[in-house]
Amino acid sequence: MPEAKITTIDKFVKADFLKGLVSSTRHTDSDDWVSKQPVKKNKRLEELGSYIFSWGQIYEHLVGSYFLVWRFSISTLTTNSDEHITYRSRVYSTLESQFPEFSSEQAVLVAGLYDSWCIYPGTSTEMFSIVTTLETEDDAREWVLNNIINKALPEILNDLNNGI
């Protein structure tokens, strides 16, 4: 398995993550670590773009006019589908044990969010997702950056790279 390394570009991506992609004026075309997609709209979901880190990407979606979803894809782990399922389970279990008050395996429960955010297991393409209401977006971004991106993910990637 390729080892995940944190690069200096990641600090710039972290700063952009705090700004967000909801406003089209928040990023310029020169931000090569931010993949700003043409907004693909359907009745419920807008794909806003992604934040490109050395270890993978965070895809940002606006759901209706209430929720923001970040899907975490860790590209440095594996492309093998069986291993992906194993890693996805381990990553979510680790996050759930570290942050039980912000975790739920029932993604449908996030519809009841009104003042918080929730980590839930990923689907076939991502390791895990986090959803927040637009009212709590700024607090959630700061929490995700400090607790997930800066602390939990480096520890998880290190453990997985070392076979723990």
The Cα–Cα gap between 120 and 133 comes to 15
pLDDT digits (tens, 9 = 90+) for 54-95: 888 899 998 887 889 999 998 766 666 777 788 888 999 999
Query: What's the distance, CA 129 to chain centroid?
Result: 6
Domain boundaries, the chain: 9-159
Length of the chain: 164
Tokens of 103: 């975790």
pTM for this one?
0.76
C-alpha separations of 107 from 51, 129, 133, 140, 141 in Å: 23, 9, 14, 17, 19
The CA-CA-CA angle for residues 91, 94, 97, to 5°, reads 150
The pLDDT-based confidence of 52 (bands split at 50, 70, 90) is confident
